Amino acid sequence: MKILANDGISSSGAKKITEYGYELILDTIPQEDLITYINENNVSAILVRSATKVRKDIIDSCPSLKFIGRGGVGMDNIDVEYGRSKGITVNNTPAASSQSVAELVLAQMLSSSRFTHWSNQEMPEKGASEFKVLKKKYAKGVELRGKTLGIIGFGRIGRSLAKYALGCGMNILAHDKDDIPETLPVEFGNGQSIDIKIEAGSFDDVITKSDYISIHIPKQSDGAAVIGEHEINKMKDGVRLFNAARGGVIDEDALLKGLDSNKIAFCMLDVFENEPNPRKDLLNNPRIITTPHIGAATLEAQDRIGIEMADLLHDTLG
């Protein structure tokens, strides 16, 4: 059987797929050529990340497909239910990258609190001549300890972030459409762990009471933003906002307005509404830390994703 990993796969995942006896194709086929390629090569499974879309047209036109795999969490680039209705197995690997995404958010929480992102940009040019000026400019950082982190979406990633934040001494206020556990097991080094109580709140509680807000929910089915001007106006003055979930869950116009008014002190964006062509006014805003959708892009996460995908594939195709 032929497996097309159109957005690539880790070497560990590739090795396991071939060990299972499948023919792995690592070519990247343009979106417009996928149907022809899959049919001409009798491809049984297609593995994607976020770049390749597997929509109704591919599902209807490629009868050889038995498995569609999404390496990572969100599956908004796949017509999941339609594929399943046609007898195709559609799976993702939601647990594999949770820690990586959480660590990226934590890194940017620390960076925005101590201005390391901006200081590092200025030091090479001005550090030798304006050291005291820069020292004064970046001398008003804040600590994470004692601050409230509001987490919207308390699934695997939200819980992973909560564990890191608890280790920094932050208070957690969590909201999710599903039930939130009363306690969260937090693992430390040397095999130690402790159960910590978690405070659950309404969506309104999170946006009004939090000093830092991190969003970990899928793109909404209607495409509507979850955080818009109305929600931003309810937030604390000087709130810090983080989105490593999906572009579009924050209204980008409202975000810029909130930054301009100083309602939002700083923002981190790993995802954008118009990927892969994000707005330049977001990229150039001096109070937004931007990364190119790399939340899950650690070597460890890619290994876990590849291995888990290989096992899911084999469970389906045998």
pLDDT in tens, 147-200: 999 999 999 999 999 999 999 999 999 999 999 999 999 999 999 999 999 999
What is the per-residue pLDDT for 200?
Answer: 98
Considering the domain architecture, whether residues 15 and 81 belong to the same structural domain is answered as yes
State yes or no: pLDDT of 318 exceeds 90. no
Domain span at residue 51 reads 2-94+299-317
Other beta carbons within 10 angstroms of residue 22's beta carbon come to 18
Token code pair at residue 125: 């040019």
Tokens 């090569």 map to which residue?
41
What is the per-residue pLDDT for 15?
Answer: 97
Asked whether the beta carbons of 149 and 110 are under 8 A apart, the reply is no
CA angle 148, 153, 155 (to 5 degrees): 110
Rounded to an integer, the average pLDDT of 257-268 is: 98
CA pair distance 188, 153, nearest whole angstrom: 23
Tokens 């046609």 map to which residue?
86
Considering the domain architecture, whether residues 79 and 198 belong to the same structural domain is answered as no
What distance, in Å, lies between the first and last C-alpha atoms of the chain?
Answer: 10
Rounded to an integer, the average pLDDT of 234-246 is: 97
pLDDT tens for residues 69-115? 999 888 989 999 999 999 999 999 988 999 999 999 999 999 999 99
Considering the domain architecture, whether residues 49 and 192 belong to the same structural domain is answered as no
304 catalytic, yes or no?
no
- Which of 87, 85, 19, 86 lies closest to 311 in space, CA to CA? 19
Considering the domain architecture, whether residues 137 and 238 belong to the same structural domain is answered as yes
Considering the domain architecture, whether residues 117 and 217 belong to the same structural domain is answered as yes
- Decide: helix, strand or coil at residue 284: coil
* Of 275, 279, 287, 314, catalytic: 275
Considering the domain architecture, whether residues 226 and 257 belong to the same structural domain is answered as yes
125 catalytic, yes or no?
no
| Total domain count, the chain | 2
* Of 49, 70, 117, 246, catalytic: 246
* Of 273, 293, 304, 308, catalytic: 293
Asked whether the beta carbons of 162 and 149 are under 8 A apart, the reply is yes
Token code pair at residue 77: 């680039």
Give the CA count within 13 Å in the CB-facing half-sphere of 154: 25
Considering the domain architecture, whether residues 164 and 243 belong to the same structural domain is answered as yes
What is the per-residue pLDDT for 223?
Answer: 84
156 catalytic, yes or no?
no
Considering the domain architecture, whether residues 140 and 272 belong to the same structural domain is answered as yes
Considering the domain architecture, whether residues 108 and 84 belong to the same structural domain is answered as no
Considering the domain architecture, whether residues 160 and 224 belong to the same structural domain is answered as yes
Burial zone of 13 (CB within 10 Å; 0-12 exposed, 13-18 middle, 19+ buried): buried
Query: Going by DSSP bridges, is the β-strand pair 89-92/67-70 parallel, antiparallel, or unpaired?
Result: parallel
Q: pTM for this structure?
A: 0.90
Across the beta sheet with 212-215, what order do the strands follow? 199-200, 171-175, 148-152, 212-215, 239-243, 264-269, 288-290
Considering the domain architecture, whether residues 135 and 68 belong to the same structural domain is answered as no
- Which of 50, 102, 103 lies closest to 74 in space, CA to CA? 50
Considering the domain architecture, whether residues 152 and 235 belong to the same structural domain is answered as yes
Please state whether 92 falls in left (phi above 0), alpha (psi between -120 and 50) or beta.
Answer: beta
CATH number of the CATH domain containing 12: 3.40.50.720
